Amino acid sequence: MLFNSQEFVFLFLATFILYYLPFFSRFQVHLLIVSSLIFYAYSEPILLILLLSSIGFNTIVSFAQRNLSRDKAKVWVTLGVIANLSVILFFKYSGMLANSFGFAGSEIGHFLVMLPLPLGISFFTFEGISLLVDVYKEPSENRHAVINGNFFTHLSNTLLFVSFFPHLIAGPILKASEFYPQIGGKEWRGINWEKAYCQLIVGYFLKVVIADNLKDNTFWIAYPYFIKLSSATLLTMLGGYSMQIFADFAGYSLIALGLATLLGYELKGNFNFPYIATSFSEFWRRWHISLSSFLREYLYFPLGGNRKGKVRTYFNLFITMFLGGLWHGAAWSYAIWGVAHGLFLAIERLANDYFPNRKQIVLLNWFVVFAGVSLAWLLFKLPEFSHAIIYVYHLFANWRLVPDYEQIKSISAILVYSFPVVAYHLQHMIESKQHVRVPKSVKHLLYAAMLLLIVINAGSKSEFIYFQF
């Protein structure tokens, strides 16, 4: 179900009204679980089997750790993490491996290639891992922060944690230690209306006005159609796609946050104005924060982080980004995308060691980061690596060509629809660096204008890009 569909609006309104009725106050958690399962299984009920199995398994393993010694708990958590990774490996990557290692033609290979990718699998298995590791990491006397009450209470809490519909399909990836303590009775008067309103308006604006309109104009980043386009068009489309992917994903995350706020839950922000980053490491602290902090906490640090010498640090960065890339999709292009970011981070670290003053060239640093990130996004749009290379080649080779009328139309639309994203980042930069606050009246006008554009300027409805992951 899409956040921008009529079915979702109906489901959410029904849930929201029932949720705050006094009669339902005892059943709020159950109501949210039922709504979340309807939301998830609306078009394919069979998907529930895997989701519920995963939740059941993680509930049992995490509950079993409750009274175990550290050593025994370690065995349980290790087995649990391996099981979660096996599920994602089987459903998401076995087809890719079958294709890559040449056994796709066999009966088993064909079966693996044809396996459907369950919606949101990357998100709910990571949350399962987060639950197991967070319970393990807590000293045994503190584990009740996550495992509260008897098995059935823990089961319903875990059901809500994993399936909570605002974040289920495309994140943000929740941490068990942050979400479980919030589970409980919520009251109507406790709703932070202003916060929810702002999150929803900006979220829907980014998705339905910006991303959905940009999508119709970056459409031509498709092989071989782009080869006849001028460099100006190719460059604008590349920048436009950067804006589109941000607006799409940040929009989704903000809608998720807004919906959760209305239901009395606080989810951590997933984006913090990533395109003002002047270094790649800063970019990753601002982009898809829940994934990057997950990878940092559950992969990079356990590998040794930057505590085991320079060579090992570069290796750790590389492997973390490689796996982070593969997390996005079962195709080598995503792995290459991850490796590219791993390289960017490693080169940046090296450059910082040799040229400590380079941080002062802010504009150049910003440009390098934005250009690198945008070029890497090409692999999301053109999963065939060779096509991405051909695109970059024509970006430079077609400089003599002048855009025709149709291309000028696309360029204009991309410029106009990208502008709000640029302004959104600039406003934040000015506010945070110059300590200037946008007057309240101007903010009111901006929110009203965004609402107006949601009503009269929405693009063609589309799925969120991150749904495929």
**Looking up tokens 């489901």, which residue turns up?**
11
In the complex, the smallest distance separating the C-beta of residue 225 from another protein, rounded to whole angstroms, is 7
- How far lies 328's CA from each of 195, 335, 377, in Å? 30, 9, 12
In the complex, the smallest distance separating the C-beta of residue 21 from another protein, rounded to whole angstroms, is 22
Instruction: Catalytic residue, from 154, 167, 328, 387: name it.
Output: 328
Contact flags string 211-250 toward another protein, x per CB under 8 A: --x--xx-x----xx-xxxx--x-----------------
The interface region with another protein, picked from 121-129, 160-168, 339-347, 447-455 by CB under 8 A, is 447-455
Query: Is the C-alpha dihedral spanning 338, 342, 275, 375 positive or negative?
Result: negative
Nearest residue to 298 via CA among 174, 129, 74: 129
State how far the Cα of 345 lies from the Cα of 365, in Å rounded to an integer.
Answer: 13
In the complex, the smallest distance separating the C-beta of residue 378 from another protein, rounded to whole angstroms, is 20
102 contacts another protein (rule: CB under 8 A): no
Nearest residue to 278 via CA among 369, 377, 374, 375: 369
Restricting to residues 328-367, which ones interact with another protein according to CB under 8 A?
none
The span from the first CA to the last CA of the chain, in angstroms, equals: 15
In the complex, the smallest distance separating the C-beta of residue 151 from another protein, rounded to whole angstroms, is 42
**If 0-12 CB within 10 Å is exposed, 13-18 middle and 19+ buried, where does residue 55 land?**
buried
Closer to another protein by CB, 213 or 279: give it: 213
Closer to another protein by CB, 303 or 401: give it: 401
Using CB under 8 A, pick the residue from 193, 354, 360, 433 that binds another protein.
193
Task: Answer for the pair 247, 421: CB distance below 8 angstroms, yes or no.
Answer: yes
191 contacts another protein (rule: CB under 8 A): no
Using CB under 8 A, pick the residue from 19, 124, 334, 417 that binds another protein.
417
404 contacts another protein (rule: CB under 8 A): yes
423 contacts another protein (rule: CB under 8 A): no
457 contacts another protein (rule: CB under 8 A): yes
In the complex, the smallest distance separating the C-beta of residue 444 from another protein, rounded to whole angstroms, is 6
The H-assigned helical ranges of 138-230 are: 151-163, 176-179, 193-204, 212-215
Using CB under 8 A, pick the residue from 49, 416, 422, 426 that binds another protein.
416
Helix axes 151-163, 121-137, angle to 10 degrees: 140
Closer to another protein by CB, 152 or 405: give it: 405
Using CB under 8 A, pick the residue from 125, 279, 313, 407 that binds another protein.
407
383 contacts another protein (rule: CB under 8 A): no
428 in catalytic set: no
43 contacts another protein (rule: CB under 8 A): no
In the complex, the smallest distance separating the C-beta of residue 191 from another protein, rounded to whole angstroms, is 11
**Looking up tokens 């605002």, which residue turns up?**
166
How far is C-alpha 354 from the chain's CA centre?
34
Closer to another protein by CB, 219 or 355: give it: 219
Beta-carbon count within 10 A of 150 CB = 9
408 contacts another protein (rule: CB under 8 A): yes
453 contacts another protein (rule: CB under 8 A): yes
Per residue, what are the HEC states of 53-73?
HHHHHHHHHHHHCCCCCHHHH
The set of residues, in sequence order, having a beta carbon less than 8 Å from that of 169 and lying 6+ positions away, is: 40, 119, 120, 123, 464, 467
199 contacts another protein (rule: CB under 8 A): no
- How far lies 364's CA from each of 151, 174, 242, 359, 371, in Å? 56, 35, 18, 9, 10
Closer to another protein by CB, 93 or 220: give it: 220
Using CB under 8 A, pick the residue from 9, 108, 114, 455 that binds another protein.
455
In the complex, the smallest distance separating the C-beta of residue 203 from another protein, rounded to whole angstroms, is 15
401 contacts another protein (rule: CB under 8 A): yes
State how far the Cα of 172 lies from the Cα of 194, in Å rounded to an integer.
Answer: 21
Query: Is the C-alpha dihedral spanning 396, 391, 220, 289 positive or negative?
Result: negative
409 contacts another protein (rule: CB under 8 A): yes
Closer to another protein by CB, 151 or 219: give it: 219
Q: With CB under 8 A, what is the number of residues at the site for another protein?
A: 47
Using CB under 8 A, pick the residue from 142, 412, 432, 437 that binds another protein.
412
The H-assigned helical ranges of 205-331 are: 212-215, 231-262, 280-286, 289-295, 301-303, 310-328
460 contacts another protein (rule: CB under 8 A): yes
Bond prior to 224 in cis (omega within 30° of 0): yes
Task: Answer for the pair 279, 346: CB distance below 8 angstroms, yes or no.
Answer: no
Binding site for another protein (CB under 8 A): 6, 193-194, 197, 209, 213, 216-217, 219, 224-225, 227-230, 233, 400-405, 407-413, 415-417, 444-445, 447-449, 451-453, 455-457, 459-462
Catalytic sites, residue numbers = 328
